[in-house]
Structure 1
Amino acid sequence: MSAKWEEVALAKRRAVSANIPADWLIPQLLLPSPAELDVTQFPRKSGWFTPRELDITDSTATAILCKIAGGTWSAEEVTRSFCKRAAAAQQLTNCLSEIFFAEAIESAKILDENFRKTGKVVGPLHGLPISLKDNFNVVGRDSTVGFTSLVGQPATYNSTLVELLEAQGAVRYCKTNVPTAMMIAESVNNVYGRTTNPLNRKLTSGGSSGGESALIAFGGSPLGVGTDIGGSLRIPAACTGIFTLRPSFGRFPTQRCRSGLAGQEAVQSVNGPMSKTLGDIVLFAKTVVDAQPWLQDPKCLPIPWRSVEKKKKKLKLAVLWDDGMVAPTPPVARALRETVEKLNKAGHEILDWNPTLHSQGLDILGRMFVADGGKSVRALLDPTAEPFRPEMSQYENAPERSVHDMWQLHLERSEFQRKYLEQWMSYGGLDAILSPTTPYASVEHGNFKHVGYTGVFNIVDYSAVSFPCGVTADREKDAASLNAAPLSNTCKEVQQDCK
């Protein structure tokens, strides 16, 4: 007999599937076989999408907004096109957690009617479909963050960022899958199952914003919003070859979002955009900041948007070749080398970054996440007798820290931040650190073992961008690097996973 959590999960998955209109179910004859791993070309090669739909969904967010404002495309047809492509993405990668296409189309119709009457857009995002990570509350929709106990508990209010984006003209149409509690570097949970990477469905799309990265990489969203507490924006972006921005805390509103570790503020979670282009990341950031979010979220800093007026022709960049714990796998190491070569040729000053502090930073991060002894996670598992997933074993077995112990950990964190800043300042006018986002280009499901390259920057709360550099894995080119001496036991496992 099925356990209660299994029944709840099955019913929820069926409900999500039922929200895909019959017209947007991929015909059986067109479905890629399980052996077809790269499904990113399905929309263009299948013949299932019209040329107009492809033109719309292959466009950048910035281009879409120009076409809508110019009257070339309507908000409704743009929304319908992305809903159809998102429906395909769900069927091929299991990336969605909530679907509200019909509601989105009605919202788009209202925007079109307003445009016809006034000749003006309602805001800078007028008619743009924007996808949302599962933890963003939307009235009437679940925010399960991967727990069966939160199924059937629809939100009664919207997250502040959701309200802000809608006020600027954005159309919300779906929410995307996450790992349990949003605390795993792969997007898998007991409610919806596992999201796969559309570039290779044997590989992970990352976590915890892996539903977003899969949807965007497939072309089912022009612009999405995720969150990051240890790499949850940057890891999925790196696994799928898209752009993201992890801002420092207080830049974008985080108010009224759901968390798997509610009340944990030793290391702050932040929200950020994900897209295929840097220009669309800038579009999101400027729109949100120009909306003065500090008037709605008291934790946002009242800093207006500022453009760089005098751009430096020569940057000083420090390169983190490895973090002292796990060396990047050969494709990532080659990508870093080739990027550094291009920067050198462009005349920028390149230095080496000493990773001496990184192991301490990752250790602090790990202790903060389990400081409650796993009580937060257990409290959300117990109501439906849902088991801990194997990826969450550190939460199942962690000892609880006392208040005094936690305060000492805060002191350790603050001292670490001071030391990291001191190292930064010792370079004299340093502009940025260039680093791998993860040791992997991506990795087979269940094998993601190290978040050291991202987690340290959550501890120091530095803004960070993950970006593609045009390098893809090549077994022949990378074979020579496979026998490098490992930096640790974890490093040895990571390198073996890539052979």
Structure 2
Amino acid sequence: MIFSLFSRSHWHACLQKQTERQFDIDSLPPAYSAPLSSLEEKIHALSLSQLVSDCKAGVIAPSEVMLTYGKKTLIAQKLANCITDIMFDEALQIPSVVNWPHAIDPESSLARDRPLLGVPVSIKDTIDIAGHDSTIGYSRNVFHPAPTSSAIVRLLQDAGALVHVKTTAPTGLLGMETVSDIFGRTSNPYNNAYTSGASTGGGAALLACGGSKIEIGSDLGGSVRIPAHFCGVWSLKGSAGRFPSWGGVSSVQGLEGVPLVTAPMAGSLADLEEFWKRVVEAKPWEYDHTCLPIPWKSVDLQEEGRKLKWGVMLEDGVVPPSPACRRALRVVTAALRKQGHEVVDFSPPDVWSGLKIGYQLVFSDGGEQIRSLLSPSETLPKASASILSLLSLPRFIKRILAYFSRNSDPLTADALQIMHPKSVKDVRALNAQKEAYQAAWHEKWTESGLDFILSVPHPFPAFKHGESEKVNLMTAGFTFLFSMLDYTAGVLPVTFVDKEIDGLPDGFLASREYASMNAVAKGAYSVYDVEGMHGLPLGVQVVGRRMEEERVMEAMKVVEACLKREGTVFIGHVKA
């Protein structure tokens, strides 16, 4: 009886939140439902720097920008179900915007300069905005608005940005697809039968539809990079302390073993770079005590003329990349070689050994934080649910299963043995192992003389809704690894899945190669459907060392320049 009451409370909260969202949409002025005018099409085509320049010059009003992007946001919502809160009017009422084109506080140089004036910025559900919920997909967090805004939101609003919507995230965040009982399922704008990724899946879908200029997401194991890869947008995860991250919620609050960072995504590399630069130049350390006072230092690797050395990481020790993702990586390496860069295969310290350390740190509580926030009858995404099931299994049963699978599937045996709650002493030992592993990476990178590392962001393109039990969290090794190392890592789109050339070899599922795969890889490959995935975006990941945000951004520009010389230019084609 009591469970039934709590269950009804959960679904009632979900219904109320959905009703509130729809009411806010329905209450918007009719102008937001009209097609874009020719002027609005021109506004939408402006780069971030052009948009700021025209708003400062009085050529374009922030209200015109808001109307333009508001229209695109509503189209994106219909197409992908990607937003949680609408703040169109609120975005225009902040002090740095309301008296456009004049700053109201002449004492504030930031207010006077307003380096992001008129730039529409969407915010992931997890990041606090005063007066709005940060639910992280849990119904218990509905109608509990944040009392204050996060550091990045305060900086953005002082800088004149139009913080106009919050975007969807999966329940508990640690998933491979964006779905919750509160807001439903977010779709990939390129194919609504496929996922947009997670956990910044709503923001990636919105950007792909042109509903925002910048999305502010968070990244623990690839939460901005995998959605960027799935949806054909750009992202850059910095090292901990470089981008303001204070003031949000998480299902792993207090986790220190693997950094959880706030990170931006954009609809172009130029916008991504310009945004990063302007945020750092706005002195985010004055807003966020966790942010390091490191000024932006311009780097021009192309002007230097020197050829770079790129290490290609082909495997993560868990899931071999699919033919489509391998091809995207080959397109990039071939273009770099053609322009005289040195591209070599890189054999890093054992990746699976590192991933094991990271997984144990993230789930050292046995998944209790994620589980404790659930309401009765509330569901988790399949990837999270499967991990919690593994953690909940009695250890003696896991030992037995590990014993019998050790010879045929060592990786599965390892996972069975390590995934259980840890003591404080265990966590300290794991942190020591992590530091030793980071030292091994540093040594290997240095002796290899690499400038950057290239890899796939994920072994697969976006997959169908509901398949994240097979494409589970352990398939995210290529991104999670660099979070654990705290390296700077960016993702840029390259091409699209092509059913004519990206298929598996005939008889692959009956081949020795498939038979030799571990259970995680076999499960993931069972959903690789090149016919259905045809036309989905494919990206690559560019990795630098810690605190190398400027250099990685430049490396991404080098990649794009080389691709362009070979006739490969990524152009998104979402019909929104």
Report the TM-score when normalising by structure 1.
Answer: 0.90
TM-superposition CA deviations, 1:128-184 (whole Å, max 9, x none): 111111111011100001100000100001101111111111121111001112111
Q: 1:53-72 CA distances to partner (integer Å, 9 max, x unpaired)?
A: 22222433223222222332
Structure 2 partner of 1:9:
14
CA deviations on 1:384-406 (whole Å, 9 max, x unpaired) are 55344433222355242111111
Answer yes or no: is the 8 Å Cα contact 1:184–1:207 preserved in 2. yes
Counterpart in the other structure of 1:473? 497
TM superposition shift of 1:99: 1.3
Runs of 5+ unmatched residues, structure 2: 392-419, 530-576
Amino acid in structure 1 at the alignment position of 2:238: P
Q: Confirm or deny that 1:66 pairs with 2:53.
A: yes
CA deviations on 1:312-348 (whole Å, 9 max, x unpaired) are: 5200000112223211111111111111111110000
C-alpha deviation, 1:365, in angstroms: 2.0
- CA shift, 1:422, in A, is 1.6
Q: 1:386 aligns with which of 364, 378, 390?
A: 378
Cα distance in 2 between the residues matched to 1:481 and 1:171: 49
Instruction: Give 2:98's aligned amino acid.
Output: I
The amino acid across from 2:195 in the alignment is T
* Pair 1:339 & 2:319 matched: no
1:57-112 CA distance string (max 9 Å, x none): 24332232222223321111101211221122112211011112221233486142
Count of residues in Structure 1 that have an aligned counterpart in Structure 2? 477
The 5-angstrom pairing of residues 14-413 of structure 1 reads: 14-22=19-27, 48-107=35-94, 110-114=98-102, 122-308=113-299, 311-382=304-375, 386-393=378-385, 394-395=387-388, 397-398=390-391, 399-413=420-434
Question: In the alignment, residue 12 of structure 2 is paired with which amino acid?
Answer: E
Q: Per the alignment, do residues 458 and 136 of structure 1 end up closer, same or farther by CA in structure 2, a change over 3 Å counting?
A: same
TM superposition score normalised by structure 2: 0.78
Query: Which of these residues, 457, 461, 478, is aligned with residue 441 of structure 1?
Result: 461
1:36 aligned residue = none
**2: CA distance between counterparts of 1:287 and 1:3?**
47
Deviation (angstroms), 1:51: 2.2
Aligned to 1:35: none
The offset of 1:273, in angstroms, is 1.2
TM-align CA RMSD = 2.4
Query: Counterpart of 1:432?
Result: 452
CA change 1:111–1:415 in 2 (3 A) is: farther
Secondary structure of 1:273's partner?
strand
Give the SS at the match of 1:239. Answer: helix
Q: Is the 8 A contact 1:57 1:222 kept in 2?
A: no
Contact 1:24 1:88 in 2 (8 A): no
* 2:192 counterpart SS class: strand
Change (3 A) 1:312 1:95: same
CA distance in 1, matches of 2:381, 2:130: 29
- Aligned residue for 1:203, secondary structure, equals strand
- Residue identity in the other structure for 1:368: L
- For 2:364 and 2:41, locate their aligned partners in 1 and report how far apart those are by CA, in whole Å: 48
CA distance in 1 between partners of 2:174 and 2:163 (Å): 25
Q: Which moved more, 1:341-350 or 1:91-100?
A: 91-100
Counterparts of 2:105 and 2:261 in 1: how far apart (Å)? 38
SS of the residue corresponding to residue 235 of structure 2 reads strand
**Structure 2 counterpart of 1:114, one-letter code:** H
Given residue 432 of structure 1, which amino acid in structure 2 is its aligned partner? F
Once residues 193 and 111 of structure 1 are traced to their aligned partners in structure 2, the CA distance between those partners, rounded to angstroms, is 38
1:181 is paired with a residue of what secondary structure? coil
Q: Which moved more, 1:153-162 or 1:78-87?
A: 78-87
Call closer, same or farther: CA 1:52–1:457 in 2, change over 3 Å: same
Q: Secondary structure at the match of 2:85?
A: strand
Post-superposition offset of 1:296: 3.0
Distance 2:482 2:44 in 1: 33
Given that 2:178 and 2:198 are in contact with CA atoms closer than 8 Å, whether structure 1 keeps it comes out as: yes
Q: How far apart are the structure 1 equivalents of 2:28 and 2:425?
A: 59
Please say if residues 129 and 223 of structure 1, whose CA atoms lie closer than 8 Å, have aligned partners that are also in contact.
yes
Letter in 1 for 2:47: T
Matched letter for residue 444 of structure 1? K
Letter in 2 for 1:339: V
Letter in 1 for 2:502: D
Gaps of 5+ in 1: 28-42
Q: Tell me what 1:457 maps to.
A: 482
Other-structure match for 1:40: none
Secondary structure at the counterpart of residue 173 of structure 1: strand
Counterparts of 1:480 and 1:130, CA distance in 2: 40
Which deviates more, 16-25 or 251-260? 16-25
User: What is the alpha-carbon distance in structure 1 between the residues aligned to residue 49 and residue 37 of structure 2?
Assistant: 22
Q: Supply the AA of the counterpart residue of 2:354.
A: G
Separation (CA, whole Å) in 2 of partners of 1:117 and 1:136: 27
Which amino acid in 1 is paired with 2:43?
Answer: I
Q: Secondary structure, in 3 states, of the residue corresponding to 2:304?
A: coil
Shift in Å, 1:437: 0.4
